[in-house]
A = this chain, B = another copy of it.
Amino acid sequence: MTHPFQLPSRHPLLIVISGPSGVGKDSVLNEMQARGANIHFVVTATDRPMRPGEVDGKDYFFITSDEFAEMIEQDELLEYANVYGDYKGIPKQQVRQAMASGKDVVMRIDVQGAATIKSMYPEALLIFLTTETEEELTQRLIERKTDTGKGLKLRIATARKELQRLPEFDYCVVNADGALGQTVAAIQAIIDSEHMRVNPRNVTL
């Protein structure tokens, strides 16, 4: 008895783009957004005050500390962290809605947060951005003028530690100097390929 043939159904992916500080996560995300595939890019919620020029719902969702606390209590954050005194987190509801509409969801998270997501959602797709070598990463951190308030030595030590966590990820993409287009094409190949898997990743939040 044969059943009628059916193609595997399409599942939206929960995609985490991570990698050590200085590797260029923001540039990669911006370039992906500019190319405008059928992807929802997560907007992070934060309790820090809006700065001039920022747009609510675009740069961040600006909420009060009480609202943030409420989201933590209701388990309505996929992941959150206290970054230099300000809370930042990813609202589950936003991710749920995007996936329900059939869109892949992309979020940029630091290495530690990415590992947390993987432990809670093993079917999440984790992409690790890296430079070719450790020296190249150090060089980028040195050249980078924007400071985070932390000393260079500390940032280099942190980035080195983060590089060691590559084995916790699914894919490794080299973000070479001046090759942003190639990096984004590589990520797109991974996404396209994952949608052709016979046993697709299926994440339920």
Contacts and interface: CB of A to CB of B under 8 A. Distances in A.
The DSSP consensus for interface residues of chain A is: mixed
Of A8, A132, A171, chain B has the most CB atoms within 10 Å of the CB of A171
Interface stretch (A38-46, A93-101, A143-151, A186-194): A186-194
A196 B192 contact: no
Interface residues of A, number: 34
Q: How many copies does the complex hold?
A: 2
A95 B78 CA distance: 46
22 contacts: A2-B161, A4-B134, A5-B130, A5-B133, A5-B160, A5-B163, A7-B130, A8-B166, A8-B172, A167-B199, A170-B197, A170-B198, A171-B193, A171-B197, A172-B197, A173-B196, A188-B189, A189-B193, A189-B196, A190-B193, A193-B193, A193-B194
